[in-house]
Amino acid sequence: MDQRLLKAARLGDINIIKQLADAEGNILGGTTLQGNTALHMAARFGHENLVQEIIKRQPNLVLESNFKGETPVHVAARAGHWKITLLFRDAIRGSTDVQVARIRDNYAQNGQVRLLKILLDPCPDTIE
């Protein structure tokens, strides 16, 4: 991943992200050594406006997994960024390509029961 993009994603600098994306096309598709995209990073650090901008520009990144198999949804949920998690939920509504929560993430054990229910709300058949 371009270091300017990585820094902007970590800091939530939406203006730099816009400039880079406008100037260099597919720059948002770059990844870190761990396979994280700019969307993973923006989700991790809780930058809601940046997440919205990246989804608008490159919605396919919502479904991208890093080398641990985590999508940006997983990253936001683990960090407890509820609003961002809801953005992802809405972006993937109707998709069957995403595992919203995995048992090994132990969301319930980490006090994230409410968040897990919110994520699974569009999929009532998945809750037993």
Please report which confidence band the pLDDT of residue 115 belongs to, taking 50, 70 and 90 as the band edges.
low
What's residue 128's pLDDT?
40
Mean pLDDT of 93-110: 50
Least confident window among 57-66, 77-86, 111-120: 111-120
Query: What are the structure tokens assigned to 85, written together?
Result: 């998690």
The 10s digit of each residue's pLDDT in 52-74 is 999 999 988 988 999 998 889 88
Give the pLDDT confidence score for residue 101 in this predicted structure: 47
More confident residue, 13 or 74: 13
Mean pLDDT (whole number) for 11-35 = 94
* pLDDT value at residue 89: 78
Number of domains in the chain: 1
Range of the domain at 7: 3-126
Task: Give me the helices (H) in the chain, please.
Answer: 3-11, 14-24, 38-44, 48-57, 72-79, 82-92, 113-120
Residues 39 and 75 sit within 8 Å (Cβ to Cβ): no
Greater confidence (87 vs 114) lies with 87
Q: What average pLDDT does the segment 85-106 reach?
A: 62
Higher pLDDT, 125 or 16: 16
The pTM for the full model equals 0.77
Residue type, 120: L
Statement: residue 3 has pLDDT above 70: yes
| CATH number, domain containing residue 74 | 1.25.40.20
125 CA to centre of own chain: 24
